[in-house]
C-alpha cells in the first residue's frame, strides 16, 4: 500500500480503507480462483494496483462518466480506478466467468457501489455506449480499437476527461508494455502515449505505457 501512497495521497478515509482491503481479499480469492500469478500476488500494489492507477495519473474523469473495462481479468484496471473515481461508473467485462466471480466478490467485500460486471466478449455488448474503454494489455491495439468503437459514444456526446490539461472527448485508454512501434504501425492509428516510468520511478514501469486513442 505504501507504493500507492507514495504517488497519491488525497484519499478519503473510505477510499483508503478500500485500497487497504484489496490485499487480503485478493489473497483469499486467489487461493480459490487463480487470477493473479503466485509470484505477483505479494506485489499486488506495485504490479497491479499502482499500474492500474497510471491511468488516473494521466486522466481526470468527470462524475457520471461511464467506462467499460475490456477484458478485466481479475479486475484491473477497473477495480483500482473505481476506488479512485467513486463518482464514475465502471462496467467490467470478461469472457471468462470465473474471473468475474473474483471481481464481484472483491467489489462486494470492499463496498464498491460503482462497479457492474458482464460475462461477455466486448463485440457482443449491445444497446450500451460508454464514454471511454480501458484495458490492460489483452490484445493488439488494432483489435482493442476495433472492439471499442461500437460501444463508444459518438464524438461530442460523451463526458470529456482531462489529460494533462488537454480535453479528451472519449476513446480507448490502454496500458501497454514493450516495443510498441510495430503494433502502432499495424493499427494505422495515431495514439497519444505517456511513459509510465516518467510517472512512477519503480523499475517495474520501465517500457510500460499509457496509450490513448481519441474517439
Is 25 in contact with 109 (CB distance < 8 Å)?
yes
**What pLDDT score was predicted for residue 124?**
86
- What's the chain's average pLDDT? 93
pLDDT at 42: 86
pLDDT of residue 121: 85
* H/E stretch holding 29: helix 13-32
**Known binding positions for S-adenosyl-L-methionine:** 71, 76, 136
Helical packing angle, 13-32 and 97-110, nearest 10°: 140
Give the neighbor-by-neighbor strand order of the sheet with 59-60: 59-60, 161-163, 166-168
pTM of the model: 0.95
Grid cell digits, residue 160: 470529456
- List, in order of start, the domains of the chain with CATH numbers: 2-214 (3.40.50.150)
- Residue-wise burial string across 53-63, b where 16 or more C-beta atoms lie within 10 A, e elsewhere: bbbbbbbebee
Confidence of residue 137 (pLDDT cuts 50, 70, 90): confident
Could you tell me which residues are annotated as the binding site? 71, 76, 136
Amino acid at each position: 500500500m505504501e507504493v500507492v501512497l507514495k504517488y497519491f495521497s488525497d484519499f478519503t478515509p473510505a477510499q483508503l480503507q478500500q485500497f487497504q482491503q484489496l490485499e487480503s481479499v485478493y489473497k483469499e480469492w486467489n487461493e480459490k480462483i487463480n487470477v493473479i500469478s503466485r509470484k505477483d500476488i505479494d506485489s499486488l500494489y506495485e504490479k497491479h494496483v499502482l499500474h492500474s492507477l497510471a491511468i488516473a495519473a494521466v486522466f481526470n474523469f468527470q462524475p457520471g462518466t461511464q467506462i467499460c473495462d475490456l477484458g478485466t481479468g481479475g479486475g484491473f484496471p477497473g477495480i483500482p480506478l473505481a476506488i479512485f473515481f467513486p463518482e464514475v461508473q465502471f462496467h467490467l467485462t470478461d469472457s471468462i466467468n470465473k474471473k468475474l466471480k473474483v471481481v464481484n466478490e472483491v467489489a462486494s467485500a470492499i463496498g464498491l457501489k460503482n462497479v457492474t460486471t458482464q460475462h461477455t466478449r466486448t463485440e457482443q455488448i449491445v444497446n450500451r455506449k460508454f464514454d471511454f474503454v480501458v484495458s490492460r494489455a489483452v490484445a493488439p491495439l488494432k483489435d482493442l480499437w476495433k472492439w471499442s468503437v461500437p460501444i463508444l459514444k459518438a464524438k461530442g456526446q460523451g463526458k470529456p476527461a482531462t489529460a494533462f490539461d488537454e480535453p479528451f472527448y472519449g476513446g480507448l485508454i490502454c496500458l501497454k508494455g514493450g516495443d510498441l512501434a510495430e503494433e502502432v504501425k499495424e493499427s494505422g492509428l495515431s495514439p497519444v502515449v505517456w511513459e509510465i516510468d516518467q510517472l512512477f520511478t519503480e523499475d517495474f514501469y520501465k517500457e510500460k505505457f499509457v496509450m490513448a486513442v481519441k474517439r
